[in-house]
Structure 1
Amino acid sequence: MNICMAHRGWSGKAPENTMAAVRLALAEPAIFAMEIDVQLSSDGVPVLIHDFTLGRTTNGKGLVKDHTLQQLRELDAGSWLDERFTGERIPTLDEVLQAVKGRCTLNIELKATSDMYPGIAEKVLALLEQHDMKQEVYITSFDHDLIRHVRTLDETVVTGLIVGGRPVLMLEQLQEAGANILSMGYPYLTKELAVEAIEKGYKVVAWTLDDPEHIRTVMSWHPDVQICTNHPDRMLEFV
């Protein structure tokens, strides 16, 4: 059965990467996985936010990495979507791990290069160790060198390459990085590549599918393709 993965929590109904979005996704039993984005505060704490700048999803300004955790926690991360969510804060990864443990698979996207956030892989792995959750998560990134670094730190954690195009030798790149997952933008993913990757033992995540017809088409390619969507309700009617 195709796994439904809530993108940035249930971001179609609540502000992305907030506890409100996480709780909504956890409340739906048919959602088996959730994707979140992780960066570091200036004092080195893993926090959930997608953009490198604060302006789109909070009432703050400037770069995430230039703010301490306390400064980030003072921002409103909800009212931009709807005034009902006024007061939602930027959560820490620690908070989210506590909420999610034992309830669904967490796809942690490292929104970083190792140069931008030195030590981000080590900090995330330390939290997973603390919560005994290494077997409940994927760690993925557009920075494929960073994923290779994660693999050198821990050979047991499931890792994935995020791809927003259609590069050649894709499966060879997965092998070179020691990755277990191909996470590809659905406009670039083909049925042939998805099936070949799955048959060779890789997991395949297609993102971000919100149109019901696109969802149904990609689901038809193979029952093991995981669907990452802002609107899980649009997928679950097909499940």
Structure 2
Amino acid sequence: MRNPCVAHRGWSSRAPENTMAAIRLAIADPDVEWIEIDVHLSKDHIPVVIHDYTLRRTTNGKGDVKSKTAAEITSLDAGNWFSQKYQGERVPTLDQVLKEAVGYCKLNIELKTDGVRYPLIEEKVLECIQAYNAEKEVVITSFHEGALYRIRKLSSQIRTGLIIDGWRNTLPKELKELGSDFLSIGYSRLNKERIAMLKSAGIQVMAWTINEKRAIRKAAELDPDLMICTNYPERWHEARLKSVNR
């Protein structure tokens, strides 16, 4: 089993998701090749790393991310909900994540946008990436195709990818039209034939979110290059070890 491991929102089984604590754990493991993170824009147009459109679930704040400045968001406690051990952990900016990850671990940066909510998100995220000369270290993904079109217009160097929890045989053609060579797809939608179709079109495939060891092993059997996105990189390790010892 050689399938690349992607730490979903950082090592989110061991530290609060999308925080520097979870990201540092993933960076510290040489076998974790990728980290998936989620990016929104603050009121003052700073890319911040958090999953939800609202602050309530993963911080001690309230309201929409877009209604708060970056200073307000990064002052919130983003760790106590997970464990007292992480009390005081903050919401990081994308700049902070890039500063520590570039050169050590690749980043799958998901743009959390519906095409209306954050009209400047593509430009601001690109500015951060370019500031670290990290164009070859990242892939930008989104459920929203318009965001991918926008990225492609702004840069020919950044890889992009569609996120989808479904299947249609036109996906390779759609991705080509988007200028994308990456697909992030719900694991249950995949089989060997579909992965082969995508690979023959030059598309790299990531399956999400696979958290059980048995499911990780089954996914690995579909294709050795299939990227496995998981909250539990330790279970990816265990599945890999079992595969080796068979």
If the TM-score is normalised by the length of the shorter chain, which range does it land in?
A: over 0.9
Runs of 5+ unmatched residues, structure 2: 241-246
Distance in 1 separating the partners of 2:30 and 2:171: 33
Distance in 1 separating the partners of 2:154 and 2:105: 24
- The aligned residue for residue 6 of structure 1 is 7
Distance in 2 separating the partners of 1:196 and 1:215: 21
Distance in 2 separating the partners of 1:177 and 1:113: 17
- The aligned residue for residue 184 of structure 1 is 185
* CA-to-aligned-CA distance 1:165-205 (integer Å, 9 cap, x gap): 22341111111211110110112222211121112211000
Runs of 5+ unmatched residues, structure 1: none
SS at 2:189 equivalent: coil
Aligned counterparts, 1:159-170, within 5 A:
159-170=160-171
Aligned counterparts, 1:84-233, within 5 A:
84-233=85-234
- The aligned residue for residue 60 of structure 2 is 59
SS at 1:32 equivalent: strand
SS at 2:205 equivalent: strand
Distance in 1 separating the partners of 2:16 and 2:112: 18
Q: 1:31 touches 1:232 (CA, 8 Å); kept in 2? A: yes
Once superposed, which parts of structure 1, at least 4 consecutive aligned residues long, lie more than 3 Å away? none
Question: Could you tell me which amino acid in structure 2 is paired with residue 37 of structure 1?
Answer: D
Cα displacement (A) at 1:50 = 0.3
Aligned residues: 239
CA RMSD of aligned residues (A): 1.0
Question: Could you tell me which amino acid in structure 2 is paired with residue 171 of structure 1?
Answer: P
Q: 1:113 touches 1:143 (CA, 8 Å); kept in 2? A: yes
- The aligned residue for residue 49 of structure 1 is 50
Distance in 1 separating the partners of 2:106 and 2:199: 18
* CA-to-aligned-CA distance 1:96-149 (integer Å, 9 cap, x gap): 000001001100000113311011111111111110000000000000111111
Question: Could you tell me which amino acid in structure 2 is paired with residue 9 of structure 1?
Answer: G
Distance in 1 separating the partners of 2:11 and 2:150: 30
Distance in 2 separating the partners of 1:123 and 1:107: 16
